[in-house]
Structure 1
Amino acid sequence: MSKRSGGAQQAESAAAKRGSRVGLKDIAAELGISQSAVSLAINDKPGVSEETKRNVKEAAIRLGWVPTYAAQALGSSKTMTVGFAPMRPRNDFQDESFMLHFMAGAQTSLSRKGYGLLYRPCLSLEEETRIYRDWARGKRVDAVILVDLRTEDPRPALLRELGLPAVLAGGPDPDNIVPSLSIDDSRVMEMVLTHLNLLGHSRIAYLSGDASLDYCLSRAKAFEEFTARRGLGLLWIEYTGFDPNQAVEITQRLLGEEEPPTAFIFENETLAAASIRMITEIKVRQSAAGAPSRSYPYNMPATVSFEDSFICEKSYPSITAVHRDAGEYGAKVANLLLKVLRGEQVSGNRRILPPQLIVRESTRIASP
C-alpha cells in the first residue's frame, strides 16, 4: 500500500473538518511554501520557478483541488468564459451536425485550460451585435468565436472597438482585424464538379445556402468559373436560406423543366436528404406507372452534399459528400483563441484540414 505524506493527510483532514473543498492554503501546507507562492504557480504567474509550478500543480491534482472560478475572476478580471453567438434559428442545431461537432471540439480544448463556452444563438445580425455589446459592458466573457463571415461584415470592427479578443472560424477577414482559421476548401467546388463531369453530367444545379455568406458566394463563383471553363450545358445556382422546404420546392421546380438537371449539389446534408426524399417519391411513382425511363433508383439524378454526417451514410441512396472533421476544426479554432488570450502574436489566416470527397451511392449507382 502506498504511503502519502503527512502534509497531504493533514491537508485533507483539515479540509474535511471544515466541510469544504481543498484550498490554496492546504496545498501550501502540503508543500511547506507560502500561499502566495501557490497562487502564483497555479495561475502561471512569474515570481516562482518552473519546478515550483510543477510541484504545486501535481499537489493540486493529488489533493483534489478544484479552482473556484468566481474567485479567479475577481482576482484576475477574467471570467474564464468564451462567447459563441452564431446567427441561426434556435432549433437549427437539431439538424446541423457540423456545428454541434464544432462546438464539442472547441469546448474540449477550452475546458483543458479551465474555460467554458457560453452559447447564445441569435435570430439576426442586429441581435448578435447587441449581445457582443452586452457581454463587453458586463464583462461577461473574455473572448468570442466568430463564424459565418458575411459580405462587409461589421462584427470584426465592432469587437475591436469593444476590446473583445476574437478569432474567426472561416474567412479570412478581408480587413485582417480578426485572425482566422479556415478549412482549406478553396478547390472543393472544383473537386465536386470534376467528379460529376467525369460521370458525364453537364446539366448541374447548385442549391446554395445564404447569398450574404462569404463561403456561399465563394463556392458560387467557383461553380461559375469551372462550368464556363469546361463549357458545360444548362446550369443553375439557387439560394435556399438553408431551409429544407425551400430546397425541396426548388428541386421539384427544376425537375419539371424540359431539360432538368442530371446532378444536384446541396450546401448541406439536410437540404440534400429532404430533396432526395421528394425525388424518390416522384421516381417511384413514375416507375410504378410504367414511365418510359429506367426504374428506381437508376433514374435518380446524382446528388452531392457539401457537409457530411450520418444522414449521408444512412440515406438511400447514400449521399456523396464533402467530409471535414468538424470536431478537430473546433478544437483548433479554440486553441488559436487560447493563444490570443495568452497574449501571443497571432494574425492573418491559416488553412487546415483539406476536405475529402466521400463517394457514395448517390453518384455511383450504375445503369442496370
Structure 2
Amino acid sequence: MDVAALAGVSKSAVSKVFNNRDGISPATRERILNAAEKLGWSPSAHAMALRGERTRTVGLVIARGPDLLTADPFFAETVAGLEQELGPAGYGLRLHLIADDQTELAVYEQLVRERRVDAFLLTDHRVGDARHALLRRLGVPALLIGRPWRGEPTACVHALELEEAMGAAVTHLTELGHRRIAYVAGPEDRVHSRLRRLQIERTLADHDLRLRTVFDTELSGEGAARVTAELMADPERRPTAILFANDAMALTGIATAQRMGLRVPEDLSVVGHDDHPLGQWLHPRLTTVTQDARQVSRAAAVRLLRLLGEPVENEPEPPTARLVVRESTGPAPERPA
C-alpha cells in the first residue's frame, strides 16, 4: 500500500504536500503526513534530483553552545570526515549551532521549508529523539551518526563493537584488581551514555561488582574536574578507577587528581574514550577506547550521498572500536588502613 492509497487521496495531492505547494486543505495535508509516517515513507531523492530541486547541501544541526563544541575534539574529527567526502562530491555542509534543544525542531522545519538542504546528518542522539518522526513527516532523507535506540528506522552508521570495547575496558580494570569503579558519563538522555553504561554494568555484574555512575550534563572539562574532585574527596569511599565519556574529560580528571596530590595510575586509574592524539603525549599516556570518529563520519557521508542517489563508489568501512591500553591504568591500590 502506498501513501496515496492509505490516505485516500490522489498521488498528485501527495506530491503537493511534500513539495510544499498550495491547494491542499489542512485536514487532507495532516492525513497524508500521518499516512507517510505510518509507512515510513519519504520522497524519492532521485526524483527530486531529476526535477532540479537539489541544493547540494547537507544540514547538521547541533544543540550545543560554541564553548562546548570547542571542548569536544570528537566533533572536529566528525566534521573533518564529513567534509572529506561531501566536498569532492560537490556537496556543502550547512552547520547550525543552537544554544539549547528547545528550538531545535523549529530549525529543522525552517531549513526544509526554505529548501536550504537536501538531507540531514544527525548526531548527539537522544533516547526518544523527536527528530526522526519530524524528518519522516517532512519527507527529508536523514542519516544518524551513532547507535540507534530501540525501534528507530532512520539509517545509521557507527563504529562496530563499541559496547564490546567498553566491556574490554572494564575487564582490563577488574583484571588489575579494581573493585570500586566509577563512570563519568555524558548527559543521561544521550543514547551513547545509556548504551555504554549498560555495557559497563553488565560486565561488572559478571564480576559481582556494581558501578557508580555520575552523569555530567555538559561533557565538559569543567564538569569533569568538579566530578573528579567530588569522587576523590573521601579516601574511604573514593573509586580506584574512573571511566570518562571522552578523552578531554579524562585528561581533565587526571590533572584534577594530580592537583589533589594523587598519583595516576598508582592511586587512581583513568580510562578515556575516542583516542584523542593528545592522550598519547601527556604523562601518563591515556588508556582509552578508540573508534576513529573521522572514519565513521566519512562512511556516514558516503552512505548519505547514496541515499541521495549520487553514484558514489568505495564506501569506507566503519571502524571497529577497541581498547588501547597505555600508562594511565595500573594495579588497584590497597585500601587505606
Instruction: Identify whether the pair has TM-score above 0.5, normalized to the shorter chain.
Output: yes
Q: Deviation of residue 175 (structure 1)?
A: 3.6
- Is the CA contact 1:305–1:319 (under 8 Å) kept in the aligned structure 2? yes
Q: Deviation of residue 117 (structure 1)?
A: 0.5
Q: Deviation of residue 140 (structure 1)?
A: 0.3
Cα 1:124/1:298, change in 2 over 3 Å: closer
Aligned partner letter, 2:81: G
Q: Residue 213 of structure 2: SS of its match in structure 1?
A: strand
> Within the alignment, does 1:355 sit opposite 2:331 as a pair?
no
Which structure has the bigger radius of gyration?
1
In 2: Cα distance, 1:366 partner to 1:253 partner: 20
- Is the CA contact 1:173–1:180 (under 8 Å) kept in the aligned structure 2? no
* Residue of structure 2 aligned with 1:306, choices 253, 273, 278: 273
> Within the alignment, does 1:276 sit opposite 2:243 as a pair?
no
Tell me which residue corresponds to 1:31: none
In 2: Cα distance, 1:297 partner to 1:220 partner: 23
In 2: Cα distance, 1:188 partner to 1:301 partner: 21
Task: Report matched runs for 1:177-188 at 5 Å.
Answer: 177-184=153-160, 185-188=162-165
Deviates more, 1:92-101 or 1:163-172: 92-101
Deviates more, 1:167-176 or 1:152-161: 167-176
Task: Report matched runs for 1:55-204 at 5 Å.
Answer: 76-184=52-160, 185-204=162-181
Question: 5+ unaligned residues in a row in structure 1: which ranges?
Answer: 1-72, 285-295, 345-350
> Within the alignment, does 1:208 sit opposite 2:185 as a pair?
yes
In 1: Cα distance, 2:68 partner to 2:145 partner: 18
- Is the CA contact 1:172–1:182 (under 8 Å) kept in the aligned structure 2? no
Aligned partner letter, 1:251: T
Cα 1:356/1:298, change in 2 over 3 Å: closer
Question: What's the C-alpha RMSD, in Å, of the aligned pairs?
Answer: 2.4
Q: TM-score, normalised by structure 2?
A: 0.77
Q: TM-score, normalised by structure 1?
A: 0.71
Q: Deviation of residue 91 (structure 1)?
A: 2.1
Q: Which has the higher helix share?
A: 1
In 1: Cα distance, 2:185 partner to 2:332 partner: 27
Q: Deviation of residue 336 (structure 1)?
A: 0.6
Task: Report matched runs for 1:263-342 at 5 Å.
Answer: 263-283=241-261, 296=263, 299-342=266-309
Q: Deviation of residue 300 (structure 1)?
A: 3.2
Cα 1:191/1:75, change in 2 over 3 Å: same
Per-residue CA deviations over 1:214-233 (Å, capped at 9, x if unaligned) read 1101111122222122112x
Q: Deviation of residue 256 (structure 1)?
A: 2.1
Q: Deviation of residue 200 (structure 1)?
A: 1.0
In 2: Cα distance, 1:121 partner to 1:298 partner: 38
Tell me which residue corresponds to 2:21: none
Q: Residue 275 of structure 1: SS of its match in structure 2?
A: helix
In 1: Cα distance, 2:237 partner to 2:85 partner: 50
- Is the CA contact 1:283–1:299 (under 8 Å) kept in the aligned structure 2? no
- Is the CA contact 1:317–1:361 (under 8 Å) kept in the aligned structure 2? yes
Q: Residue 261 of structure 2: SS of its match in structure 1?
A: helix
- Percentage of pairs with the same residue: 30
Cα 1:299/1:79, change in 2 over 3 Å: same
* Residue of structure 1 aligned with 2:228, choices 238, 242, 251: 251
Deviates more, 1:133-142 or 1:222-231: 222-231
Q: Deviation of residue 170 (structure 1)?
A: 1.1
Alignment length (residue pairs)? 278
In 1: Cα distance, 2:55 partner to 2:264 partner: 55
- Is the CA contact 2:166–2:196 (under 8 Å) kept in the aligned structure 1? yes
In 1: Cα distance, 2:248 partner to 2:197 partner: 19
